[in-house]
Amino acid sequence: MAYLKKISFDSEIILFMSNIAILASGSGSNALKIIEHFKKSKIADVKLVVSNKKDAGVLNHARNNGVESLVFENNIWSDSPDLVVRALEERQIDFIVLAGFLRKIPDELIEKYPKAMVNIHPALLPKYGGKGMYGINVHNAVKANGEKQTGITIHWVTADYDEGEIIFQTSAEVSPDDDAASIQKKVQKLEHEYFAPVIESIMKKNA
Ligand code: GRF
């Protein structure tokens, strides 16, 4: 799938902005960075934020930045995923970013967006992925195992949790003085620095 829509007109190439949707369940600090990054982009724009929680902090970031937001509560994701797919289609969404989205992604959605949906995981996959490995649990496990390094992984989304092909990883040192909270801070710093630029470069590469 090409994310960048372009037409040639005489010798000129006209680029149309692609539309990104962010799916998030939590505070949305990554979503905010991505929204801000793409305000300056010439290739894509964050058109929509979708959450499964009506009180998620990410919805405030959307509102404050003039981005449309939708809430589909948990039963919709499991019982009527076609409603989610339709909402994305109606808004001509080309690319989906999962930024702390804590629901299983319906197969219908994964099939609709092959190699057009990415997730960020707060560890160096394949370590510390899978069931229960989210939020502070990840960093507790990294600490408990005495790891010397942790980091972030940006990967394609497939039907299996955290198992899609890895696109990008970068790491941070874990020192003996670190606890789970300080490890989380280091990881979040990497997320905020790298996630948005990596998304943009993936989209450019697949144009
Ligand atoms: C991040 O740590 C991300 O790696 C994980 O969920 C968290 C979301 O944090 N998938 P925030 O809501 O963007 O602050």
**Residues 47, 67 contacting (CB under 8 angstroms):** yes
Q: For position 94, which CATH number holds? A: 3.40.50.170
Average pLDDT, the chain: 93
Residue 2 belongs to some domain of the structure: no
Residue 172 belongs to some domain of the structure: yes
Q: Which residues contact 196 (CB under 8 A, 6 or more apart)?
A: 33, 34, 36, 37, 38
At 2 the pLDDT is 58
Structure tokens at 4: 């960048």
Distance 29 CA to ligand 1 centre (A): 7
pTM of the model: 0.94
Question: Residue 12: pLDDT above 80?
Answer: no
Our answer on whether the CB atom of 191 is closer than 6 Å to any ligand 1 atom is: yes
Distance 27 CA to ligand 1 centre (A): 8
Distance 8 CA to ligand 1 centre (A): 39
Question: Residue 3: pLDDT above 90?
Answer: no
Q: Which residues contact 179 (CB under 8 A, 6 or more apart)?
A: 143
> How many other β-carbons are positioned within 10 Å of the β-carbon of residue 41?
17
pLDDT in tens, 186-200: 999 999 999 999 999
Residue 33 belongs to some domain of the structure: yes
Q: Which residue has the higher pLDDT, 21 or 17?
A: 21
**Helix, strand, coil proportions of the chain in percent (round to 5)?**
35, 25, 40
Catalytic site includes residue 139: no
Long-range (24+ apart) CB contacts under 8 A made by 160-163 are 161/104, 161/129, 161/130, 161/131, 162/119, 162/121, 162/125, 162/126, 162/129, 162/130, 162/133, 163/126, 163/129
pLDDT in tens, 149-187: 999 999 999 887 678 999 999 999 999 999 999 999 999
Residue 10 belongs to some domain of the structure: no
Residue 1 belongs to some domain of the structure: no
**Closest atom of ligand 1 relative to the 187 alpha carbon:** 2
pLDDT band at 14 (very low <50, low <70, confident <90, very high): low
Overall domain count for the chain: 1
Q: Distance of CA 92 to CAs 19, 34, 46, 47, 96, Å? A: 7, 19, 12, 9, 11
Q: Which residues contact 34 (CB under 8 A, 6 or more apart)?
A: 20, 22, 46, 97, 99, 195, 196, 199
pLDDT in tens, 66-89: 999 999 999 999 999 999 999 999
Residue 5 belongs to some domain of the structure: no
Residue 161 belongs to some domain of the structure: yes
- Closest CA to ligand 1's atom 1: 100
Pocket test for ligand 1, best of 22, 30, 193 (most atoms within 8 A of CB): 30
Nearest-CA neighbor of 120 among 41, 50, 48, 28?
Answer: 28
Find the mean pLDDT for residues 96-125: 95
Domain that holds residue 150: 18-205
pLDDT in tens, 26-61: 999 999 999 999 999 999 999 999 999 999 999 999
Q: What is the C-alpha separation between 71 and 34, in angstroms, rounded? A: 19
User: What is the Cα 118 distance to its own chain's centre?
Assistant: 5
Question: Residue 118: pLDDT above 80?
Answer: yes
